[in-house]
Structures are given as C-alpha cells and as structure tokens.
C-alpha cells in the first residue's frame, strides 16, 4: 500500500459514541471527511441528529441514534441498526464520558457510580458487543478515549475529580488487556489520551483552572477543533495495523513535561 491507501477509510463504517458534541463530534467529522459512513449516538439524540445532517452534506451516509452506553439494550439496538443499515462495523470509538467534581472524601457513591457506569462500564459493554462482530469478520478498530488524567494523581486545586481520573486509568488498562485478547483475531484495540480541550465537559474545569493548566502545557495552548482528527484517523486506518494496546497521548506536551 502507498501512504494514501494506508490512511484510506472510504466506505468503512464507524460508530462514535458521544458523537453529538466535543471530541466525539470532531472525530466523527474527521472520519466523514475521509469518506467513512458514520453512526453517532448519545443520550441526547437531537445533538447527534444535527451532527449527522452535517456529515451527510460531505457525501457520506450517516445515522443518529439515542443510546445510554451503560444500558445493554440500548447498545445492542445501536449495533443491530448499524449492521442492518451498513452491513458491518469497522470502527468503534468509545468517546462518551461523564465527570463529577467533588473532594475525594466527600464524593457521594451515586456520583461515583454515574461516572464509572459511563466511562468504564459503557466502554466494556460497547467493546464487547462490537468486538463479537469484528472477531467474526476478522478485522476491526476499537478506539477508546482515555485522558492524561488517568495516568496518576492530580492536584486537587486543579482537578478534584477522583471518579473521572480513576475511570480513565481503568480505560487505559482495559485497552491494553482487551488488545492482547483480540489481537489474534486482527482486531486492534487502542486508545487516545487527550489533554485539555475546551469542550462542554471540560468547561467548568477550564473556567476554574485554565491558567494553571496552560502553565503546565509546553505548547502553551489548549487542544483545537482539529487536533484530534489526525490521531483518530491513524488509529482507525490501515496505517496502524501493527499497533495494538497503545495509548496515543495528544496533550500539547503536558505528560512529557516534568511537573
């Protein structure tokens, strides 16, 4: 394959959870620009519908579906409708996420459970459902959206979100373990660990701690509305065919810097 062929995903089918806004929307747009058919799903189907209509204007097929990623029945319905409409599933991006800010010793169990249900259980359930199809067809790309916050402890003055950091650490380990399990079937499981992007889920944090975060970011800026496109396309394409269980950090140098 030449380099254009390695990055070609034209005609592939991708599911992007949480695709109605933020990083999910950016990734869905990247795949549509590269010619893939896109299913965007989240609890708020109206936002997904708006994105889906934009994607179709790029000349690809798209579908918006309602889905609570912590609900097995919702996931199965999305998987079934996707296969019915497009024939198969080539790419899955587990992007749906939740967070809750609270001091570690005061966080209520119900808020902990909410974060874990979306960020960990949802990744497991969707990967399991789609993974069965990918194993049967002998190919597939699963991309989990982790976070640099999942690599260790965070200063509570900057990030007091122990449920979120714990969940993203779990996503990193889950990615590596599932990659080992599925590699013999030519199913690639990798992750992206973003730094700080001005998305809706990060707004409260950036409003509170944005200046401190920028001081610790060598690039001196937050992620842009295109910075996830290249990494997401790489892990979805044949260019990453010998990459299994990798966590691609996209953070402006934050993790690399000595804090």
CATH of the domain at 231: 3.40.50.720
Sheet containing 140-145: which strands, arranged edge to edge?
A: 62-66, 37-42, 13-17, 91-94, 140-145, 187-194, 247-250
pLDDT at 201: 79
Residue at 259 is within a domain: no
DSSP character string of 105-165: TT--HHHHHHHHIIIIIHHHHHHHHHHHHHHHHT-EEEEEE--GGGGS---TTT--BHHHH
CA 12 centroid distance within chain: 18
The closest alpha carbon to 236, from 54, 72, 12, belongs to 12
Give the mean model confidence (pLDDT) for residues 73-90.
98
7 has catalytic annotation: no
Is 160 part of any domain?
yes
User: In this predicted model, what pLDDT tens digit does every residue of 165-214 receive, in sequence order?
Assistant: 999 999 999 999 999 999 999 999 999 999 999 887 787 888 888 888 99
Percent of the chain with pLDDT over 90: 91
pLDDT at site 206: 87
Distances (CA, A) of 177 to 181, 189, 226: 7, 9, 29
Count of the separate structural domains present in the chain:
1
Residue 258 has a pLDDT of 61
What span, in angstroms and rounded, lies between the C-alpha atoms of 37 and 137? 18
Residue 224 lies in a domain: yes
Which residues, other chains included, contact 167 with Cβ-Cβ below 8 Å and sequence gap of 6+?
115, 116, 119, 120, 150
Query: How buried is 198 (Cβ within 10 angstroms: 0-12 exposed, 13-18 middle, 19+ buried)?
Result: middle
At 85-105, the pLDDT tens digits run 999 999 999 999 999 999 999
Give the separation between CA 50 and CA 20, rounded to whole angstroms: 8
Q: Is position 255 within any domain?
A: no
Query: pLDDT of 215-258, one tens digit each?
Result: 999 999 999 999 999 999 999 999 999 999 999 999 999 999 96
Residue 256 domain-assigned?
no
Please report the pLDDT score of residue 202 as a whole number.
Answer: 80
Instruction: Please report whether residue 257 resides in a domain.
Output: no
Would the CA dihedral through 122, 86, 50, 188 be positive or negative?
positive
Q: Convert the pLDDT of each residue in 18-45 to its tens digit.
A: 999 999 999 999 999 999 999 999 999 9
Mean pLDDT of the chain: 96
91 assigned to some structural domain:
yes
**pLDDT for 259 beyond 60:** no
Active-site annotation holder among 7, 31, 164, 242? 164
Full residue range of the structural domain in which residue 245 is found? 3-250
The pLDDT score that the predictor gives to residue 27 is 98
258 occurs within a structural domain: no
235 Cβ partners below 8 Å, 6+ apart?
141, 143, 188, 190, 192, 243, 248
């Amino acid at each position: 394959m030449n380099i254009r062929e390695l990055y070609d995903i034209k005609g592939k089918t991708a599911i992007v959870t949480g695709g109605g806004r933020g990083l999910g929307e950016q990734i869905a747009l990247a795949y549509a620009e590269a010619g893939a058919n896109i299913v965007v799903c989240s609890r708020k189907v109206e936002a997904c519908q708006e994105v889906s209509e934009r994607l179709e204007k790029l000349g690809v097929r798209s579908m918006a579906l309602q889905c609570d990623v912590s609900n097995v029945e919702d996931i199965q319905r999305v998987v079934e409708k996707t296969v019915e409409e497009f024939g198969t599933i080539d790419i899955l991006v587990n992007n749906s996420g939740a967070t809750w800010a609270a001091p570690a010793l005061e966080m209520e169990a119900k808020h902990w459970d909410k974060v874990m249900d979306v960020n960990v259980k949802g990744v497991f359930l969707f990967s399991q459902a789609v993974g069965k199809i990918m194993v049967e067809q002998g190919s597939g790309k699963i991309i989990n959206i982790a976070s640099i916050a999942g690599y260790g402890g965070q200063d509570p003055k900057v990030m007091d979100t122990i449920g979120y950091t714990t969940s993203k650490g779990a996503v990193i380990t889950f990615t590596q373990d599932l990659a080992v399990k599925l590699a013999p079937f030519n199913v690639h499981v990798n992750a992206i660990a973003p730094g700080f992007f001005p998305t809706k889920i990060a707004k409260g944090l950036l409003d509170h701690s944005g200046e401190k975060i920028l001081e610790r970011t060598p690039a001196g800026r937050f992620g842009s509305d295109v910075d996830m496109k290249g990494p997401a396309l790489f892990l979805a394409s044949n260019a990453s065919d010998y990459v299994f269980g990798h966590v691609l950090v996209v953070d402006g140098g934050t993790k690399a810097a000595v804090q």
